[in-house]
């Protein structure tokens, strides 16, 4: 007689499966965090607790300069993407024009195209127009995928809004621009902020596209880390990785809070 799977057995199995999945995902990060406080430079033997590796990172001019470049790229790309992505989402949601479906697909294409394909295509384009590679070319390349992510998040927010509110504002004498700024934009703000935070994290973490589009002296943090890894993994890089993980997790939690706050509103 076949055994019957009761709800209690199913719940127990799901609990074990979830626990194993979390261990598989976060055990390497836990080991990385532990050894970032290791007094020895060894990555396999614990000798004592220290904060020296974090101090060395904050005193490393190369990594700090690369961090500044990454922040410049991310902040600039996200600022431009916030405007373009929001306007694109509104246009695709509220207006009808020939080729709208095709344009929607092209807008979301960077989400599914491999990073290496975007990197090579962007590099070829810059070469065709004879644009020298620099920090500016990294920014332009990052705007491409940052804009796509902002558009997706804002579009999902727009899908839950009642268009009759804007129509009521227009009926009461507001111009289309006034209806957008005073009625639609405040409702979209949580989605815009959430999309910007997501795009910022992706821009800071990007290596492939930045590596292909960076010029001489334009070194972002992922590129600097990759260069340092050629001499081996050091606890200083462990400390930097832990700081990046904490910062990314914090921004992800903020983005999730903002998104839920927007739904409550």
Distance CA 83, CA 146 (A): 11
pLDDT tens track for 19-77: 888 888 888 888 888 888 888 777 667 788 888 888 888 888 888 899 999 999 999 99
pLDDT of residue 217: 77
Q: Which residues contact 64 (CB under 8 A, 6 or more apart)?
A: 58
What pLDDT does 119 receive?
92
Token pair recorded at residue 243:
């700081």
> What average pLDDT does range 117-146 have in this prediction?
92
Q: How many C-beta atoms surround the C-beta of residue 78 within 10 A?
A: 26
| Average pLDDT value over all residues in the chain | 84
* pLDDT per position as a tens digit, 144-174: 999 999 999 898 888 877 777 877 887 788 8
Q: Which residues of 150-161 are buried (b: 16+ CB within 10 A; e: fewer)?
A: bbbbbbebbeeb
> What band does 1 get if pLDDT is binned at 50, 70 and 90?
very low
Q: What is the spatial distance between Cα 146 and Cα 74, in angstroms, rounded to a whole number?
A: 9
pLDDT confidence of residue 259: 65
Q: Percentage of the chain with pLDDT > 90?
A: 25
Report pLDDT digits (tens) over 179-214. Answer: 888 888 888 888 898 889 889 989 998 999 999 998
């Amino acid at each position: 007689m076949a055994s019957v799977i009761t709800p209690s057995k199913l719940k127990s199995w799901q609990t074990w499966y979830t626990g194993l999945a979390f261990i598989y995902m976060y055990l390497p990060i836990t080991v990385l965090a532990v050894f970032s406080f290791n007094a020895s430079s060894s990555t396999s033997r614990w000798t004592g607790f220290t904060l020296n590796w974090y101090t060395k990172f904050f005193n490393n001019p190369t990594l700090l300069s690369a961090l500044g470049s990454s922040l410049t790229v991310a902040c600039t790309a996200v600022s431009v993407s916030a405007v373009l992505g929001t306007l694109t989402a509104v246009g695709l949601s509220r207006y009808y024009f020939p080729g709208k479906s095709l344009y929607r697909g092209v807008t979301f294409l960077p989400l599914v195209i491999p990073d290496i394909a975007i990197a090579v295509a962007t590099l070829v384009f810059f070469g065709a127009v004879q644009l020298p590679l620099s920090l500016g070319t990294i920014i332009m390349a990052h705007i491409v995928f940052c804009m796509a992510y902002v558009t997706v998040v804002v579009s999902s927010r727009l899908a839950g809004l009642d268009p009759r509110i804007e129509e009521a504002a227009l009926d009461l004498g507001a111009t289309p621009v006034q209806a957008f700024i005073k009625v639609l934009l405040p409702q979209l703000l949580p989605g815009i902020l959430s999309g910007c935070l997501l795009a910022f994290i992706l821009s800071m973490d990007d290596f492939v596209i930045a590596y292909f589009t960076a010029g001489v002296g334009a070194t972002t943090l992922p590129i600097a880390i990759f260069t340092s890894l050629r001499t081996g993994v050091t606890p200083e890089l462990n400390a930097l990785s832990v700081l990046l993980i904490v910062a990314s997790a914090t921004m992800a939690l903020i983005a999730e809070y903002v998104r839920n706050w927007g739904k409550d509103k």
